[in-house]
Amino acid sequence: MELVTRMQEHDYEQIVVCQDRQSGLKAIIVIHDTTLGPALGGTRMWKYASEADAFEDALRLARGMTYKNAAAGLELGGGKTVIIGDPRTDKNEEMFRVFGRYVQGLSGRYITAEDVGTTVEDMDLVYEETEYVAGVSPQFGSSGNPSPVTAYGVYVGMKAAAKEAFGTEDLSGKVVAVQGVGSVAYHLCRYLHAEGASLVVTDIQEEAVRRAVEEFGAAAVDVDEIYGVKCDIFAPCALGAVLNDGTVPRLQASVIAGAANNQLKDEVHGSLLHERGILYVPDYVINAGGVINIAEEFKGYNRERAMKKVEKIYQNVAQVIEIAKRDRLPTFKAADSMAEERIRRKRLSKKAYLPNGRDRLSRRVH
């Protein structure tokens, strides 16, 4: 990978490669854009096939966070961390403490949080070394696990998409195929089940599938079968690039709305969905509930206020759909246009976020 050339392609600001042989830490911190404010993005831990795959994921995720935060109306830029390793076997306390010291060294240009493969408990260890971490345990003045809030945002965004596709936001009786039933998707299934939707689920973890079947009466299918399920809504809630040459032709859904990041393998796949008449809700618009929730920590966290702001995802999804119809664009391009316009306006007055001694997360007591 020609890394600097790749950075120039989408105007990335900074990449920090971190390693600690004793703890086994191998991490890549990517700061994409701080025009709107400090870069906020979680830390993902995954057993990547290669270092090149880890860099690719970190770059895509960081850029996605810029667009997510911009589209959500937050005064935050975009960044992301990936830690190379198996989250089930390779974690240790020192790994996250060392990582926290690397984050502290960025002096507030980057704020981290949990993501796939990391937990609130992991972030508590990071917090031992830096204040620039969100989503830690509530006893530290934080909001805790953001997954239920992310799920709520996906749920209300899905209702906005249903209003466009089916003429009603009522999801009772609708068949929703959920790919991946992890922390976020479990809570999404809970909302959908309570409204009377029928669920079809899959996951690489058998226990996650079993729980959804037992608690929500879901039907289970094999991992590869989920793409061909006849359903009203397909909800990708696992990893990225699941909408690709091999899967798009198989889809039998009217709407795609899910929690996973970077669902489109390439832009062409968003265009293919548009041509097929499938309403794709851009992932970074609908799954922004977690970052909206975390952003509230910086003001002194109030759960009721945070949930009210997450409900605005309904309007954000509706706005993207209206832009797409008005300008005759695929929805992913309409969402990009909405986010880029906000960044462009801000860029007229400043470029990079440069922290100063007064910048602190509000929960930290000095």
State the CATH number of the domain containing residue 48: 3.40.50.10860
Taking the chain, what is the end-to-end CA distance rounded to the nearest angstrom? 43
If asked whether residues 120 and 260 sit together in one domain, one would say no
- Residue 69 located in a structural domain: yes
If asked whether residues 55 and 204 sit together in one domain, one would say no
- What would the mean pLDDT of 232-243 be, rounded to a whole number? 94
If asked whether residues 99 and 215 sit together in one domain, one would say no
- Residue 24 located in a structural domain: yes
**96 touches 125 (CB < 8 A):** yes
* Separation CA 291–CA 52 (nearest Å): 27
pLDDT in tens, 132-183: 999 899 888 788 788 899 999 999 999 999 999 999 999 999 999 999 999 9
- Residue 32 located in a structural domain: yes
pLDDT in tens, 66-109: 999 999 999 999 999 999 999 999 999 999 999 999 999 999 99
- What would the mean pLDDT of 325-330 be, rounded to a whole number? 96
Q: What percent of the chain has pLDDT over 70?
A: 95
If asked whether residues 218 and 260 sit together in one domain, one would say yes
- Residue 251 located in a structural domain: yes
Output the pLDDT for position 143. 84
Output the pLDDT for position 83. 98
pTM for the full predicted model: 0.85
Does 366 score more than 50 pLDDT? Answer: no
pLDDT in tens, 8-19: 999 999 999 999
Query: For position 189, which CATH number holds?
Result: 3.40.50.720
- Residue 345 located in a structural domain: no
- Is 350 designated active site? no
- Residue 343 located in a structural domain: no
- Residue 321 located in a structural domain: yes
What's the sign of the alpha-carbon dihedral 81, 85, 86, 87?
negative
If asked whether residues 85 and 128 sit together in one domain, one would say yes
Supply the range of the domain harboring residue 68: 3-133
If asked whether residues 118 and 250 sit together in one domain, one would say no
Output the pLDDT for position 350. 62
Q: What is the DSSP letter of 88?
A: T
If asked whether residues 203 and 81 sit together in one domain, one would say no
Output the pLDDT for position 355. 67
pLDDT in tens, 172-197: 999 999 999 999 999 999 999 999 99
If asked whether residues 176 and 238 sit together in one domain, one would say yes
**69 touches 77 (CB < 8 A):** yes
- Neighbouring residues of 337: CB distance < 8 A, sequence distance ≥ 6: 323, 327, 329
Helix (H, G, I), strand (E, B) or coil at 169: coil
Output the pLDDT for position 299. 82
Does 64 score more than 50 pLDDT? Answer: yes
If asked whether residues 99 and 159 sit together in one domain, one would say no
Does 249 score more than 60 pLDDT? Answer: yes
Helix (H, G, I), strand (E, B) or coil at 264: strand
Does 353 score more than 80 pLDDT? Answer: no
Output the pLDDT for position 70. 96
- At 365, the pLDDT band (50, 70, 90 cuts) reads very low
If asked whether residues 175 and 308 sit together in one domain, one would say yes
Output the pLDDT for position 364. 47
- What would the mean pLDDT of 293-305 be, rounded to a whole number? 89
If asked whether residues 174 and 210 sit together in one domain, one would say yes
- Residue 342 located in a structural domain: no
Output the pLDDT for position 352. 58
- What would the mean pLDDT of 272-283 be, rounded to a whole number? 97
If asked whether residues 153 and 220 sit together in one domain, one would say yes
Domain count, the chain: 2
The active-site residue out of 68, 80, 159, 309 is 80
